[in-house]
Each structure stands twice: as C-alpha cells, then as structure tokens.
Structure 1
Amino acid sequence: MTYPMSRRVLLRGGLGVAATGMVAGLSSAATAGPRPGAARTDAEVYGVTTVDPLITRRADPFITRPVAGTYYFTGSVPEYDRIVVRGASTIAGLATAAESVIWRRPASGRMAGHIWAPELHRIDGRWYIYFAAGDSDNVFRIRMYVLESGLADPRDPAGWTLRGQITTEWDDFSLDATTFAHAGRRYLVWAQAEPEIAVNTSLYIAEMNTPWSIRTKPVRIATPTRAWETQGFAVNEGPAVLVRNGRVFLTFSASATDARYCMGLLTADAGANLLDNRSWVKTPDPVFATWEQTRRYGPGHNSFTVAEDGVTDVLVYHARDYRDITGDPLYDPNRHTRVQRLYWHGDGSPLFGVPVGEGGPIVRLSPADARGAFVRHWEYVLRVDSGVRELADTQFRFVPGLAGAGTESLRSVNFPDRYVRVVDGTVQIVPVAAGSPEAISASFRRVPRDGGGISLQLAGDATAYLRHDRGRLIVGPAAGNRTTFLLS
C-alpha cells in the first residue's frame, strides 16, 4: 500500500476437449494423486489453479501454506475498514469460500483509519495477523499492529484479541509487516518511513523476541533508488520471503499503486547474517511488472504459498485488468487477487515471467533429445534453448484448433494473439485468426509417444511433425526423440 502525497508520500479453463486428458498425464507437476479414468484439473496439469482472478477486489493478498489441510486467505478490502479470513482445502476453493470478518476497526481513535495489508501466520500453535492501521483523525498515521488467536480456526472471530502495536526505532509511517523463521531465529521485515531519508518507505529487518515485538535494532536492507522504484512515489514495500536453494529470496513492491507498481527482488545467502545489510543484493531490474499484452497492470504486494502437490511454489499477487484509473489509485477497488506458478532457473534463482492472462493450463515443451532445454519464441521464430531466463517466452497454452474439430493450436502466453504456425517450413509464432486460410498451418494433432511424450503432427500433412534439430525447431518426418516433446 502506498500512501498519498499529503503524507509524502485464470477463468478456470481446459486445454480443449481433445487435449485435457492427454496433457494431464504428461505434466511433471501432475504426478501426485492420479485419478484413473478422470481428466486432471488445471491445477494438476499446471501446478496451480488458473482461475483468474482468484478473488475479486482483494488487494495485498496473503495465502497460507496448508494448515491441517486448509489454505487460509486474507487481504485488504476496498473499504479499508475490516480484516477478513476465508479458508478452503484447495487454492481454487478460496474463490468461492465464505468470508469471515474477524476484526473491525473501532469507531474512532487509534486504529480507526485505514486498515491495510493483513498477513496471517501460524506460530507455535497460535495464529497471528499482522496489519497496518491509521487513526480516525489521520487515516494515514499508519502503524503496525498484531492480533492473536489461540483457536484452531482463524476464521472464528471469537478467538482474536489485539496484542498491540509493533514499536520500532521511529514512531513514523510503518506498514506491511511480514515474519519468517530461518536457522532457528524469527525475523520481522517491514516498510517504514525513516525521518532522515528522503524517500517514502524503505525496507527493514529485525530479529523478534515475541510474535509481536522485535529485540534487535532495525537494519535497513533496501531503499528505492532506481527509476522503476520511484515512479509516482519512492517506495519499497510489501516484502515477502521464500527460502530456497541455499538462499533467502525477498520480493518487494515499488512505485505508486497504479500500472507502474512492480516487484523487485533481494537475495541473501542462507548462511549469511541477515541483519547485515551487506548480505542483501538487489536485482537491478524489476522481476515482475505490468504486461500490456495480457492486460495485467500494476502487479505486486505478493506472498508465496505451495500448491496442493506440496512441491510447486505459487506466487500470489494483486493486479488490475485495466491501465487507466480515475482519481487516486489507492481508492480504485479493482485490484484482484491472482495466482500463478513460480518457476526456478537451473542456478536456483526464481523465474517470475509475466502476469498471465485468462486461459487454461500453461505448459513448457522440452525435446526428448534435449531435456534441459525448452521450446521458446524469439523474434517471431521458435527455437530450442537451454538456460532460458525469459520464462514467458517458453510458456504456451493448448487451445482448440484454429482449423476446427480434431485439431489443437499452441498459443503464446505472453503474446496471446500469437500462435505457433508453420510457414514455408519455418516454425513461427504469429497472429492467426480462427477459420482463416492460415488456420490449417497453425493447427496440429497430438500423437502420444512412449515415456509420456507427445509429437505434434501438422494438421495439413500427416507425414510432417515439429522436430528438434540442434537448437532449431523445424518440420520433418517422425524421428523418435527428435519429434518427441515432454510437457512440464
């Protein structure tokens, strides 16, 4: 949440009738819990539901990891007047789950202003909600507070009591508290306006001695200095932590809360002193930002959870589906909760891609003779590359064939008007209209292969297949591993 200048300031979709069952058996994200004879859900194919938006008009979304088989959700409501919690056995189930109001702001006085960015954490068998609140006489006198519940179900409002304010070194604008445990220590990370620094908010970390208090001096680990962090407001806020692959990854959001809002990344070695700001390295460019082609604007204030398979990491974030906003974006209610799969590069760093649009499961294709490489598009041509950091260039959706029944087409995720098409033997990705003369050359028939792979046969030529040839994607006759692709 960014404060105003006065204070300084996936619709659930399938792969098509012909595709759903076949792809479901091929995805490496879909190996757990097979249901013989049943088509797998998009979550089982892709790793996470593609309901988009997952929850409307809920900003700053936070989804817990499953606790006793239940995911719990909380987030900012447009009225900024209450804290809500909902729960479901699946991430997709949160979309329609009943919502419980577990706390409302008082009628006046302290905490009777804006209520922002709640987070729900299970610590030592008790529930805690970290949130930010202003006062009735100044809704932007934002400070951090903690609620506690000893009940098993955080949706029960009867269990919640106010633990009080989290005090820091400065009694100044502070918000977006998150907490994580690492190497036997619990930390708090938050955003704050430090009086001596001429920016809106920076990020700070401290060790905690209770779930509602810190025991060490706050350490500033990031401040907005780059152009993408200072658009509209100079902001680093909304931290979220994920410990993986020997490192501590900390995402954050930057700039104003309109289409310029975006996410950055800090990284520290898992064995480093996290209270030393020299341990943290900021990635030079944003890792997740507005993507015009999918009409997802201002993605940010994320959290992380894990999919039902217990393995696949899931990015949770909010974004609008339009760019232009009337008035202060802080009061535009249509920041919707969205989820998508988080990928990992071979070097252990996260790959975020772009905020994806509506549609069914997303797949990546690896040639069976080059399993560490992926089919990707670049300058309208498809090729096969390893070590691809441009994740979205390797993401596709199978959709009903542009040439009609019995065929499928392969659509780009980051350029959803473009389809894989064979033109004079060159495998391209270009705009194609359904029913057009070009549709037949952008349509395929899927042929299952041993070992869980598939081949893609040209709809207009039963003897021709997509084929890998030393980093190129060409067309040729069936040739074993060269015309076999694995989907993940």
Structure 2
Amino acid sequence: MTYDVSRRMLLRGGLGVAATGLVAGFPAGAAAAPGAAPTAPAPTDADVSGVPTLDPLVTQRADPFVTHPVDGTYYFTGSVPEYDRLVVRGAPTIAGLATATETVVWRRPASGRLGGHIWAPELHRIGGRWYIYFAAGDSDDVFRIRMYVLESALADPRDPAGWQLRGQIRTEWDSFALDATTFAHRGHRYLVWAQSEPEIAVNSSLYIAQLANPWTLATKPVRIATPTRSWEVQGFAVNEGAAVLVRNGRVFLTFSASATDSRYCMGLLTADADADLLDHRSWVKRPEPVFVSNEQTRRWGPGHNSFTVAEDGVTDVLVYHARDYRDITGDPLYDPNRHARVQKLYWDADGTPLFGIPVGAGGPIVRLSPADASRYTFVRHVGSTVVVDTDSRALADTQFRIGAGLAGADTVSVQSVDQPGWYLRVVDGAVRLDPARDDAGFAGQASFHRVPRANGRVSLRLAGVSSAFLRHEDGRLTVGPAVPAHQSTFRLT
C-alpha cells in the first residue's frame, strides 16, 4: 500500500523500544518414430510445469498473499477494497483459491485504535500456530498506520474463533509503518517492513530486524533500502511490500515502489545467503525495476507480491496484484480493481530470478527449448524475426501460449505472450511471428499438429504438410523433415 503526503505524513514523537530477550518457546528457525506419432491436444497447465497462469486469481484483492501448502491446503489473504476486515480462503490447489469460500476472520473495531484503514495482511505458520501480520490505522486518523499481529492456535486459519490480537509491532519510531513480512534463515527469524523514518525525507524505506517472538523485535532495525532511483519516486518516494525467497545461495527480496497507479513496480534486493542480513552492506539493489506495467498485455501497476510454490513442491510461483486499465479517476488508493494474479517465476542460468512481464489473460505458457541444445537455449522472437539463442534474460520474448489452432480440428497455434495476437507462422519455408489475419491462408500457415515425444517433449508439424516440422538449425528456427529427430523436438518449460 502507498499513501500521499496529505495522508498524515507528519511524524509523531515517541520512540518504541525493541525487545532484546528471546522468548521461551519461540522456534527461531521455524518455516517452512519421426512424423508417425499421433497428434495430441494443446498442453494443459499440468502438462507444462504444474503452474497455473491465473489472471486474475481473485478479483478486487490487493496485496495478495498465498501460503506454501500446509497439510495439503493453500491459504490466501489480501486487502479488501473497503479496508475494514481480514479475510482468508483455502483450497488444495492454487487454482482452487479462485472459487474457494472466503471467511472473515477479523473486523476492525467501530472506534479507537485499529478502527481505520486495514491493509496488507500476510498469513504465516510459525511454531505450530498461525499469525496474521497487518497494518491498521485508527478511527480518528485512518492513516495513522502501524503494524499489528493476530495469533491463532487452531489448525484452520479460516476459523475466526481462534484469532486473538497479540498487539502492535513496536519499532524505534512511532511513525507510519506497514507491510510486515517474516522469514526464517540460518536459525534466525527475521521481520522486514516499510516505515517512515523521521530523519529520512521519503515516504517509506525498508527495514530488517530479528524477532524475539512473532510480534516483538529482538534487534534494532537496520535500513536496507530507501527510494532514490527515478522509478522508485514516481508520485511518492516509496519502498514497501517486501517478499523474500531464499534460493541458489542467495536471499532475494522483492519490494514495490512509487505510487499505487500505473507507475507502481517491483524492485529486487539480493544478499549472499552466508552474509549478515542485519548489515545493510549485505544488500545490493538492482539498478532497474524487475516487474513493470505492460501496455501490450494491458496490466498496469504490478506489485506488492508474495511467493508460493506449485503443487509439484518445486516450481516457484509469483503472486501479485495489477489493474486491467491504466487511467484511474480519483485517488488510486480507493480504486477497487487491483486483482490478485498468479504466474510462474523463472530462473536464469546464473541462479537469479526472472520475472518477465505481467502475462495477461490466456492459457498456459511455455518456453520452447530445442532438445539438441542446452536447457537455457530458447526459441525467441525479436520483432517478427524468430531465432534460437541463449539470451534467457529476455524472458518475455521466449514465452508463448500453445492453444487451439487457428485452422481448427486437432491443430494448435503458438501465440506470443508479450505480443498478444501474434503467432508463429511459416511463410515460404521461413518461420516468422506475425499479427493474426482473418483468412484461411494465415490460419493454415500458423497452425500445427502437436506430436508427443519421449520425456514430455513435443514436435510441431505444420498443418496439412506431413514433412514440415519446426526444426532447430544453427540458431535458426526452420521447417523440414523430422530427421534427425532431436533437431525437431522441443522441451516445454
């Protein structure tokens, strides 16, 4: 969530004192044959990676948070447009969250403390109990935002009977504070949050501290990021909405920046997994944003993300909110249409995350990797030109949707993700990416039979031409016989 200067940015006096003793019972480390094969239908999500591309997942739920599965259930929470309550829904699959019944587990009081705006809940399982971290204002000043924690000892976090308010998370300053998240690493549990520090002339910076228990700091806050780059200060100078993913010997921390309109975007901090996370020098901010609005897919203001894992228990999933339109009437904070969305998170050969673009509506997404090349070699388009190369950081250029064929019957067509309505097409033996035309000639040139191969791989044969397969030859995508087979076979990743 962000806020403007008129929303009580005044910093009020009084310093909170961080607790330094560890609380008994707090588990500091807790977390958690060519051409002859039959044709096959277009792949389902499960055929590809087990990751649903759900856009939207849940409508009118900003700041979305999806847990890792607990006892076979995923749980979802997020900010409601009325900013007056906390909600939880659960399902055995990520896709199931879209239609799952939503339960109100807590409502703000009619007056007094916590009677103002209720923002950005996160649901965490720590030491056999559930905790909801959230931000709340007061009834007489809805923007006097501070961080609070609810606790439940019940097994099901959808049961409102179990929730009790543990209190406010007190930091060094009694000032605007929000977007708390927690993670465990190397025997310690940490809290990361956004706050307006009195001596820093920005709306909010990011801080980290160790926790003594889920609602009490054990160390003094350390500022690890503040908005200084042009993409972080559009509308407001904001770093907020942190989410943490520990992978490949590093700690990756995403955050959101700028105002909550179409300029909202995501940045990335990285620390070595062996580093002292309480040393601000351990954290390196990527110079450019990693996830921004995209006019082609018509998704604006992506941000305030969380991470979960697919049903395969391995594949990382990005959860975020974005709007379907750019222009907003009035204050964007009160525009209700930030929808929760889900898409696969990719990884580069160097072990860093690849976010790509907000993919927009449509079916499952694949990358085509030639079976005779490295797993980081992909079919990629550069404008209308189609190549095969290892520039894996150009993620959006390598993402396609294999869907119902334009020629009908049992065919499929391959549509670009970052250029919706543009299809792989064979013209005079050359493979191109072109915008669709409403004629039979184009449909035939852009339709293929999907031929299954071993180990989940596929070949794509041009509709109506038995010897015309898509082939990889010396960095080019060509058309020819399916011999040798490895040149006309692709992994779907």
Q: Which residue of 2 aligns with 1:369?
A: 372
1:452 positional shift: 3.7
Change (3 A) 1:57 1:375: same
Q: Which residue of 1 aligns with 2:324?
A: 321
1:476 positional shift: 2.1
2:100 to 93, 97, 102: 97
Q: Distance in 1 between matches of 2:57 and 2:143?
A: 29
Q: Distance in 2 between matches of 1:321 and 1:65?
A: 27
Q: Which residue of 1 aligns with 2:489?
A: 484
Q: Distance in 1 between matches of 2:72 and 2:362?
A: 27
1:176 positional shift: 0.1
Deviates more, 1:45-54 or 1:280-289: 45-54
Q: Which residue of 1 aligns with 2:169?
A: 166
Aligned 8 A contact 1:345 1:387 in 2? no
Q: Distance in 2 between matches of 1:288 and 1:375?
A: 22
1:44 positional shift: 5.1
Deviates more, 1:429-438 or 1:263-272: 429-438
2:475 to 468, 471, 475: 471
1:232 positional shift: 0.6
Aligned 8 A contact 1:411 1:417 in 2? yes
SS of structure 2 residue aligned to 1:375: strand
Q: Which residue of 1 aligns with 2:451?
A: 447
SS of structure 2 residue aligned to 1:7: coil
* Residue 418 (structure 2) pairs with residue 414 (structure 1): yes
* Residue 10 (structure 2) pairs with residue 6 (structure 1): no
Aligned 8 A contact 1:402 1:435 in 2? no
Q: Which residue of 1 aligns with 2:24?
A: none
SS of structure 1 residue aligned to 2:328: coil
Q: Which residue of 1 aligns with 2:72?
A: 69
Change (3 A) 1:326 1:43: farther
Q: Distance in 2 between matches of 1:81 and 1:350?
A: 35
Q: Which residue of 1 aligns with 2:20?
A: none
* Residue 224 (structure 2) pairs with residue 231 (structure 1): no
* TM-score, normalization by structure 2: 0.91
Q: Which residue of 2 aligns with 1:31?
A: none
Q: Which amino acid aligns with 1:389?
A: R
Aligned 8 A contact 1:251 1:264 in 2? yes
2:404 to 400, 403, 415: 400
SS of structure 2 residue aligned to 1:52: strand
* Residue 342 (structure 2) pairs with residue 308 (structure 1): no
1:450 positional shift: 4.0
Q: Distance in 1 between matches of 2:444 and 2:203?
A: 55
Q: Which residue of 2 aligns with 1:28?
A: none
Q: Which amino acid aligns with 1:157?
A: P
Aligned 8 A contact 2:316 2:346 in 1? yes
* Residue 136 (structure 2) pairs with residue 133 (structure 1): yes
Q: Which amino acid aligns with 2:491?
A: L
Aligned 8 A contact 1:83 1:102 in 2? yes
SS of structure 1 residue aligned to 2:420: coil
Identity among equivalent pairs (%): 74
Change (3 A) 1:60 1:450: closer
Q: Distance in 2 between matches of 1:151 and 1:427?
A: 58
Q: Over the residues paired in the alignment, what is the CA RMSD in angstroms?
A: 1.6
Deviations 1:288-315 (A, max 9, x none): 1111111111110000011111111111
Structure-to-structure mapping, 1:287-298, within 5 angstroms: 287-298=290-301
SS of structure 2 residue aligned to 1:5: coil
Q: Distance in 1 between matches of 2:159 and 2:486?
A: 55
Structure 1: gaps of 5 or more residues: 10-18, 25-40
Q: Which residue of 1 aligns with 2:363?
A: 360
Q: Which amino acid aligns with 1:165?
A: Q
1:108 positional shift: 0.7
* Residue 256 (structure 2) pairs with residue 253 (structure 1): yes
1:384 positional shift: 0.9
Q: Which amino acid aligns with 1:478?
A: A
Q: Which amino acid aligns with 2:473?
A: D
Q: Distance in 2 between matches of 1:131 and 1:100?
A: 16
Structure 2: gaps of 5 or more residues: 10-37
Q: Which residue of 2 aligns with 1:16?
A: none
Change (3 A) 1:181 1:419: same
SS of structure 2 residue aligned to 1:228: helix
Q: Which amino acid aligns with 2:88?
A: V
Tell me the number of residue pairs that the alignment of Structure 1 and Structure 2 aligns: 463
Q: Which amino acid aligns with 1:473?
A: L
Q: Which amino acid aligns with 1:279?
A: S
Aligned 8 A contact 1:403 1:434 in 2? no
Aligned 8 A contact 2:209 2:222 in 1? yes
Deviations 1:59-110 (A, max 9, x none): 0001110111111111100000000111111111111111111111111111
Deviates more, 1:461-470 or 1:135-144: 461-470
1:433 positional shift: 2.2
Q: Which amino acid aligns with 2:2?
A: T
Aligned 8 A contact 1:208 1:215 in 2? yes
* TM-score, normalization by structure 1: 0.92
Q: Which amino acid aligns with 2:437?
A: A
1:220 positional shift: 0.5
Change (3 A) 1:43 1:406: closer
SS of structure 1 residue aligned to 2:60: coil
Change (3 A) 1:20 1:66: farther
Q: Which amino acid aligns with 2:160?
A: P
* Residue 112 (structure 2) pairs with residue 112 (structure 1): no
SS of structure 2 residue aligned to 1:49: coil
Change (3 A) 1:213 1:316: same
Q: Distance in 2 between matches of 1:113 and 1:290?
A: 30
Aligned 8 A contact 2:42 2:403 in 1? no
1:472 positional shift: 1.0
